[in-house]
Chains A and B, each alone.
Chain A
Amino acid sequence: MNKLWHVAFQEYKRHVFLKRFIFSLLSLPLVIGMMLLLIFVMELSENDPRPLGYVDHSGVLAQAIPVPATSRFDHLVDLVPYDDEAPARAALDSGEIQAYYLLPPDYLETNHVTLVYVRDIGSNARRQFVDFLQLNLLAGRPDNIVDLAMEGPEVIVRTPDGSREFSRSRMLSLLLPVFASMALVILILTSSGYLIGAVAEEKESRTMEILITSISPNQLISGKLLGITAVVITQALSWLFFGALFIFIGGSYFGYEWLQDARMDFSTVVVIIAVMLPTYVLFAALLTAAGAAVSAVQEGQQIAGFFSMLLWIPFMLLQHVMESPNSPLVVGLSLLPVTSPMIITMRNFLTIVPTWQVVTSVLLSSVAAAGAVWLAGRSLRAGMLRYGQRLKLGELFKRS
């Protein structure tokens, strides 16, 4: 048993105490941070800060009420009234304004409005003018009626027994399991390199021959799997920490409402762990078996690429899952061990997944995982001293 832990610790140390690993820990938060920054830069570059003009011949905007800013990140522009189109056009040509809207005398009958620009206006200006028009059409009514008319009612979706509820402010709580499934896919992909190399590297460097004189194959493979799983858990915990930090900063400092009520029900957490754990073991065992069957790490990476494609199937079908979460195809994919965690977590956001489907999925995945672990053991025993030749599939199942 000591040898197993020794192998596990060595494997953990070999991967974790490296600059490359620290970089991979920071990679996901860095990538997300960079994408948010890029979105912010894109929004800034898309938004034109110049004033927006309007010519109102209908009288709707005669006593114009300005649109109030609702957050510090609103990019409001000045709205400049013109009596006639000629001065507006002159201001547009000189670049004083980015564009102007023209409301004709019969606007209240036809709803017809003309937008004149040289370069298309930013989405902030478009939204602002729509709000401006709506606000002034509602002039004279009580404030609460105006707010409700402009924003619309908040529709809270609820099951008949009240056990599940969804509203815009709780969007994150429903999306968290979907993020968890994406994180699982990324963790499997990043650990695939370690898993493939677990045995293949020892074979490539010929240290396998020395190792098996001191340790049994089962102890070796179990120790390596344990060490690599610890590496994956370290990575998962660090991402969890950064995720929590992001939610805290976004909700408390930036005031994003959808980040302020992030919580998951205990039952949802149990379901996520129950469906994801056997799938992780399944892929870990299959990748280890593949690594033991080849003679070079590079060959193993080609096989890992094939497994990676299987993991992305649920995300390629995302639109269909969203449109028909209870279709026979989607239900079938919920039961298939390779795709079940991702599909079930996506469906959980969109519908109530029957308990029998969750239980069946967990059972099938567990059986598949047990089979894969058995296969990994056979692959290791058959292939650990074979060099220059791949193990054939038939040889894995042949009686020794």
Chain B
Amino acid sequence: MNKTLLVLRNELYTVFSRRTFLFTTFGLPLIAFLIFQVVARMNNNSPQVLSTLLSDPTQSEKQGFVDTGGFLVASDETGPQAFLVSYIDEAAALADLNAGEISAYYVIPEDFLDTGELYFISSDFNPLAASEASWVMKFSVLTSLLDGDVDTAQRINHPMNLEVKSLAPPEQQRDKSNMLFFWIPYATTLIFYIVILGSASLLLNSISNEKQNRVVEVLLLSVRPRQMLTGKIIGLGIAGLAQTILWVGTGYTLLTLSGRTYDLPENLHLPISIVAWGLVFFILGYAVYASLMAGLGALVPNLREATQSTIVVIFPLIIPMFFLAQLIEDPHSVFSISLSIFPFTAPVAMMTRLSAGGVPSWQPVLAAVLMSLTAWLVINAVARMFHAQNLLSGQSFSTRRFFKALFVGN
């Protein structure tokens, strides 16, 4: 036990005394805060400077049109004449475009009813802006297709003022119009992902470095492999958790000092149970992935190969990222529930669902139990791998050898 604690203390000291760690933990939030403050002050003191730097040169907002086939139906309320400038031919429109009187013009060809195509002529050629700017012409075309029937045209454009009635239990109902109900689970997922992978990577780096510079040969004279593994896992887990707490604390302190607060809606809150579950799933997720990374580190001859081979280990953790929107928007589907209970995807998927809200209490309990079992199996399997034969070997990494050592042992 003493030697495990010795390894643990050494890892903590090594990590906390590293300049890059201190920079990442304190420096990055400080830099982000300073940039934020500078931009905010610039915006307050000289709004026109920032706006000039970031905006396109101004141009006329008027547009024109040339209706070669006489298709458009004139109307005082909705006809394009109210919002657009009419031209007899394209030459006149082009002359005004070149003079800057108009920013663009439309050409409705004679065969429009057959082809459905009309032209938007602009010297700027911005397809995205054209799409946004052409709503008036599109509505005028729709009204003309319906022989000037504005009411039907409005109804086709916007068929429903929809009222939604959900018959789901109240705890499963979510206000989808509030974007915070998407961004808070999204942020929670990202933080979890970064913390687990960051901490597990520290472990991989530590073991690979000691293998590469042969320090492990000296260490194994005094410490048993299992003691080394346990000390490193616990020590670096504490370092990763401390970094997260310091990030959140530093960011919160800086924002409070600057006098900025964020008003969250009353019905939006993060219960304390989420923090508690967060701790549980972080510990379990870290135990699984850190052990797998340690096993990887034990088998690779150097850090470069270790980094290249990490995808083999972390791939299950990446899967929930692809389905993030689904986990947030539809947290009670069979697919979402399966992802949040399967041990290798549970840490991230379950935290996402818990942040989205309405998860029955038996599900995180089941996920935690399955994860605990998985963590115990993985740690034992990696501990079998963590012995002198592998730690002193210079063999290149192979996926088959890794999984064989994990499941079969030596």
Contact A153 B166 (CB under 8 A): no
A137 and B164 CA atoms in complex are apart in Å by 22
Given A137-B159, A327-B53, check contact A156 B120 (CB 8 Å): yes
| Interface residues of A, count at CB 8 A | 62
Contact A110 B161 (CB under 8 A): yes
Contact B125 A148 (CB under 8 A): no
Contact B159 A152 (CB under 8 A): no
In the complex, which of the residues B53, B130, B138, B160 contacts A157, with contact meaning CB atoms closer than 8 Å?
A: B130
A160 and B121 CA atoms in complex are apart in Å by 6
Given A153-B118, A160-B97, check contact A118 B166 (CB 8 Å): yes
Question: Is B24's CB within 8 Å of the partner chain A?
Answer: no
Contact B54 A329 (CB under 8 A): yes
Contact B156 A154 (CB under 8 A): no
Contact A350 B304 (CB under 8 A): no
A352 and B126 CA atoms in complex are apart in Å by 8
Question: Is B155's CB within 8 Å of the partner chain A?
Answer: yes
Q: Which B70-121 residues have C-beta < 8 A from chain A? A: 94, 97-98, 112-121
Contact A45 B326 (CB under 8 A): yes
Contact B127 A149 (CB under 8 A): no
User: B residues within 8 A CB of A92?
Assistant: 167
Given A115-B164, A325-B56, check contact A151 B123 (CB 8 Å): no
Q: How far is the CB of B156 from chain A (nearest CB, A)?
A: 5
Contact B117 A156 (CB under 8 A): yes
Q: Which B123-152 residues have C-beta < 8 A from chain A? A: 123-131, 134, 137-138, 141-142, 145-146, 152
Given A118-B168, A327-B53, A350-B126, check contact A42 B142 (CB 8 Å): no
A160 and B326 CA atoms in complex are apart in Å by 44
Q: How far is the CB of A193 from chain B (nearest CB, A)?
A: 7
A145 and B124 CA atoms in complex are apart in Å by 32
Question: Is B267's CB within 8 Å of the partner chain A?
Answer: no
Contact B303 A320 (CB under 8 A): no
Closest to B208 in A: A298
User: A residues within 8 A CB of B112?
Assistant: 153
User: B residues within 8 A CB of A138?
Assistant: 152, 156
Q: Which A313-357 residues have C-beta < 8 A from chain B? A: 320, 322, 324-329, 349-352
Contact A38 B323 (CB under 8 A): yes
Q: Annotate A25-52 by CB proximity to B: 1 below 8 A, 0 otherwise.
A: 0000000000100100010011000000
Chain B: number of interface residues, binned into ranges: 35 or more
Question: Is A189's CB within 8 Å of the partner chain B?
Answer: no
Given A35-B322, A118-B166, A174-B127, check contact A111 B158 (CB 8 Å): yes
Given A115-B162, A134-B159, A149-B145, check contact A42 B53 (CB 8 Å): no
Interface centre among A118, A120, A197 (most CB of B within 10 A): A120
B229-237, B271-279, B328-336, B348-356: which lies at the interface: B328-336
Contact A159 B125 (CB under 8 A): yes
Q: How far is the CB of B14 from chain A (nearest CB, A)?
A: 15
User: B residues within 8 A CB of A197?
Assistant: 304
Q: How far is the CB of B139 from chain A (nearest CB, A)?
A: 10
Contact A351 B125 (CB under 8 A): yes
A46 and B332 CA atoms in complex are apart in Å by 12
Contact B116 A351 (CB under 8 A): no
Contact A155 B118 (CB under 8 A): yes
Given A112-B161, A115-B163, A160-B94, check contact A329 B53 (CB 8 Å): yes
A325 and B326 CA atoms in complex are apart in Å by 33
Q: How far is the CB of A113 from chain B (nearest CB, A)?
A: 4
Q: Annotate A159-199 by CB proximity to B: 1 below 8 A, 0 otherwise.
A: 11000101100000010000000000000000001000100
Closest to A324 in B: B56
Question: Is A249's CB within 8 Å of the partner chain B?
Answer: no
Contact A326 B121 (CB under 8 A): no
Contact A301 B304 (CB under 8 A): yes
In the complex, which of the residues A154, A159, A351, A352 contacts B117, with contact meaning CB atoms closer than 8 Å?
A: A154
User: A residues within 8 A CB of B303?
Assistant: 298
Contact A150 B304 (CB under 8 A): no
User: B residues within 8 A CB of A157?
Assistant: 119-120, 122, 125-127, 130
Contact A350 B53 (CB under 8 A): no
Residues of B within 8 A of A (CB): 52-57, 94, 97-98, 112-131, 134, 137-138, 141-142, 145-146, 152, 155-156, 158-168, 303-304, 307-308, 322-323, 325-326, 329-330, 332-333, 335
19 contacts between A and B (CB under 8 A): A45-B333, A113-B159, A113-B161, A115-B164, A115-B165, A117-B164, A120-B330, A137-B159, A138-B156, A151-B116, A152-B138, A156-B118, A157-B125, A158-B121, A193-B304, A324-B56, A325-B56, A326-B124, A350-B128
Residues of A within 8 A of B (CB): 20, 35, 38, 42, 45-46, 92, 108, 110-120, 130, 133-134, 137-138, 141, 144-145, 147-160, 164, 166-167, 174, 193, 197, 297-298, 301, 320, 322, 324-329, 349-352
